[in-house]
Structure 1
């Protein structure tokens, strides 16, 4: 039944097609998200029928947008691997048929402008199925993790950019990629950089969209990797008139741009922030800000347009900020608001039955003191948290509206 629904959906979308290089009507960002995050795809876990259906959909979209197939088998680049049992172990892509082998599939389309260099634009399309490793859902029954924001949103914005770039900005070629295996450790992007279907020495820069579907009312947008080429900070600011931009210089982060940064390619990663539904069944289509996604697509297009005649961007290494992250033995049980740039650490979500929940902390509270340590930003919060062990008792002070609230807490294991 699931495969029948996929086929029928594709027939409806593409039944009016008269030319393989031109769509007769524009498919909206919302339509792409609604399909990719539908229950019928069962959470798009790597290697499942649901992920394969999503791959077929994206390949058909690429075809109808006039993109050339640039995988190893048409639009597809399959890779097989054995899941890691040791988090420090390298993934073994060279496997034999047999037990525990999973096959993921990157989907790759190419817009050839006969240019010297190629811009890579990507987004991962896999998610957690019914709650694979990485799920934060603690319910007793299995629920589909549809991953509307994570990351049907990024794929939809990528497809909208492919539509825009088909008739504009011919100073570069464009390689559009939907990555598999991101949730299992950036596997698809890592595999591609080691088995690229283009000459990576001609890669100009890479743009990654991961979780761009929940632009908040204050229009805060994070752009990571702005230190990976000298011009990026300028171009991010020069083309912005609508967003409150949070910049991060590092080219290393928990998404697919890292694989390209590690191949000495400048990167930009766009992100609208974490939320309470992250890696939970609640990450569904009605909660997305589709107008915000259109704005982000237009913003990225303007950046690409501005850089169209700049030639190949120079690469610059950045400090890996994760090297400075302390080791934690305990957790407060909150989702930090990583886009908050005020004083303190704002709580964007509370995990049920954890320390913060038991202490009566609330979403929107701003932690300004933890134990004897003042909390002025995310880094000072992490340093303060790293000083505690299981069973330690202390006080936390939060700003709630115009008042300060103090609570006693006892730490649990991380």
Structure 2
């Protein structure tokens, strides 16, 4: 095989089967070395195999993947003892919830009338609520919708502080495609979101929430079941016609026609039976909709039949009647249920999971040896699906070949290449495989809070996330505006690589470079684009463009080498805005605030790792490490609360924001910007 040396490289070395990895010469073009493709393929086939359980946090497969990466780093000749004697920066994070031992609920009416409820039959505890006990007055809170612009606010004008609030799921007038609560892109109105209802109720001081299924959805399910039975009857007519037309002297034809008719009749009967057995009031199973470690109080889901007893006794109306009245005039029917209390206890135990970043180092030599360049990629994925999957309800293994098996094996390949160099590096080069990126950049956030090497001497961070699906030569690089150095360097190197280079200036975005950019470190993030298999079970090895990935690695190697060896370090530049490489839940309908969440911080409230320079939050005096606890009179216990509160306002409005700053409450005024 012909290997052309880059001008800056005096020689290329081999370690075992390892050959020199890039084939570049002045005026030439990049060539893919077969041995590189073989290594990348071998690594990825293992890391993205079913055996590794989708590398989900909490799975054994993720630990196996960590061991694999650590061994690869060690075999490449890197120092794997800097994180306390081994390759692992270990820590514990909250990953779920389980039902504790004591969960009770009873409704107590006038003169001591008591309705004792049974778990799994009459009620269920919701995993997204908190543990706690309560004994408080009952309030019917309607849908707990706060839609000021549509003049519909269930909880306006009633004091629910310290009370237990009954909340109907979904929205009024669900069938009205042009009404104020018409379904959005996700198939339902944002006002139907459980998070919105919870935030509204706890934001006004509710002690606990009792969710109840809306009657309208149940009626719709029955109608759909009846329609399926009706649709199943049509093939019976067709099959009967075929039987009547069959030649009586052709026994085989008659037999086949009769079998088709029998099969069609059987399907009709099955659909009719199913229509009579439709369950219209199913309780949410514990675990539905995930968990919330900063929930405002206990949350239960109670059957319609149970709450109808209370509503009938107090308001002389059933839930169905109340829904019908609201649908009629779109006016809330919120009311105190006089004489009725709810007594209960919820036991929701948060699950803690041990996770680890994998770290390896090549030390620098000379005057710049104490400066550090970090090259990283997250090695976790979404396991068997769940909240982070875009295939709802599917529990198949999500192998994450591209996301981010591709970045992980590229990181390993770079470690092998740099480990094979005899020439000393001027700066320290740190390789990090980050954990728990899919749960909110948790691994990179932890490293930035507890760095092995000082961040003030970390001169650059280079990240790889989804680099395995190169198509039409399009290579996207984020962070090109975070240092004046990057753009020219990339353009020069691309003269050889010949990518269709798309340069994005933003340093913030939904991957691990954001954690470093929040610490004012120049960053680059390499990405070959999203695809229809993103966060779905179909993200498998057979779809990877290994030749393309090898060429991407070549370019990243050159960028890394020049950054490590250059006399001048990249200078940090603050860039407004953030990249949007992947789908995010925020959408463009809310006004712009300009904050960067600290998802690794478990403090109640919305913790910030930074703010976007020149954005509304920055101009209003919000700072990194602040924790937002109130936003425009809305209590904020989590990022969800903040997201929902922000949507209540419009661009141009001034909002009072209360933050915790070093333990002190600080009140600020922020003028919201146009949606991004």
**TM-score computed with the length of structure 2 as normaliser:** 0.42
Task: Report the equivalent of 1:127.
Answer: 381
Asked if structure 2 preserves the Cα contact closer than 8 Å seen for 1:72 and 1:197, the reply is: no
> 8 Å contact 1:266–1:313 — kept in the other structure?
yes
Query: Residue 105 of structure 1 aligns to a residue in which SS?
Result: strand
Moved over 3 A (4+): 83-92, 321-325
Describe the SS at the equivalent of 1:24. coil
**For residue 290 of structure 1, what is the aligned residue in structure 2?**
546
SS in 1 for 2:503: strand
Deviations along 1:342-367, whole A, 9 cap, x unmatched? xxxxxxxxxxxxxxxxxxxxxxxxxx
Contact 1:117/1:312 (8 A) holds in 2: no
Is 1:314 paired with 2:571?
yes
Residues 109 and 175, structure 1, Cα contact 8 Å, conserved in 2: yes
Q: CA deviation at 1:150?
A: 0.3
- Quote the offset at 1:172 in angstroms: 1.7
- Secondary structure in 2 matching 1:28: helix
Q: Hey, what does 2:435 align to over in structure 1?
A: 180
Alignment of 1:177-326 (within 5 A): 177-216=432-471, 218-241=472-495, 242-307=498-563, 308-321=565-578, 326=588
CA distance in 2, matches of 1:257, 1:155: 15
- 2:317 aligned with 1:61: no
Report the Cα distance in structure 2 between the residues aligned to 1:66 and 1:231, rounded to whole angstroms: 30
**Aligned counterparts, 1:8-407, within 5 A:** 24-26=16-18, 28-69=39-80, 70-83=82-95, 99-114=350-365, 115-138=369-392, 141-166=394-419, 167=421, 170-216=425-471, 218-241=472-495, 242-307=498-563, 308-321=565-578, 326-327=588-589
Larger radius of gyration between Structure 1 and Structure 2: 2
Equivalent residue, structure 2, for 1:342: none
Contact 2:358 2:432 (8 Å CA) reproduced: yes
Greater RCO structure (CA 8 Å; 6+ sep): 2
CA contact (8 A) 1:154 1:209 kept: yes
**CA gap 1:48/1:302 in 2 versus in 1, 3 angstroms:** same
Higher fraction of helix: 2
Structure 2 residue runs without a partner (length 5+): 1-13, 19-37, 97-127, 130-194, 200-290, 295-348, 581-585, 591-646, 648-676
How many pairs align? 302
Change beyond 3 A, Cα 1:234–1:283: same
Q: 2-side partners of 1:152 and 1:172: how far apart?
A: 27
Residues 478 and 579, structure 2, Cα contact 8 Å, conserved in 1? no
Offset of residue 72 of structure 1: 3.2
